[in-house]
Amino acid sequence: MFVYALSGITLIFRKTDYFKKETLITKVIETNLKEVPEIKGATDVSYNVNTGELSYYQMKPPLILEALQKMHKATTASPLYILNIVFGGCLMFFVLSSYWMFLPQTDIFKKAIYYTLGGIVLTFIMILV
């Protein structure tokens, strides 16, 4: 759970350069292009018309962090999406099973219900704002 939470926290900063470092990327593309291709977020773009070599700098997270973020954002096109579904199901089980830790007539159970209702209201406020 820690790894999933950590990757989720780092995804909050994906639009900034907070966890990223400047990386040199070199690719070979078509030769004799009239103009240099535009690459989102790239700096110092250089293109060799004769060889088709394209090099530029781009801010990217470190390799391990990039892999964690990729796992966190897995879609059905990735084999990792099954792990996300299982993990989400486990988290839902932990949330719901916590209500069976206390007897319903106790004060602590009633406080838990109040906290749950407060959390639901806060969630709706966060979604609507």
Q: Write the pLDDT tens digit of every residue in 77-128.
A: 988 889 889 988 999 999 899 888 889 999 999 999 999 999 999 999 999 9
| pTM as predicted | 0.63
- Token code pair at residue 36: 């240099």
Q: Write the pLDDT tens digit of every residue in 6-60.
A: 888 999 998 898 999 999 999 999 888 888 888 888 989 999 988 999 999 999 9
**61: closest CA among 17, 7, 27?**
17
- Identify the sign of the CA torsion 41, 58, 63, 17: negative
Q: What is the pLDDT of residue 92?
A: 92
**58: closest CA among 73, 77, 41?**
41
- Between CA 70 and CA 75, with CA 72 as vertex, the angle to 5 degrees is 75
Query: Beta partners for 58?
Result: 23, 42
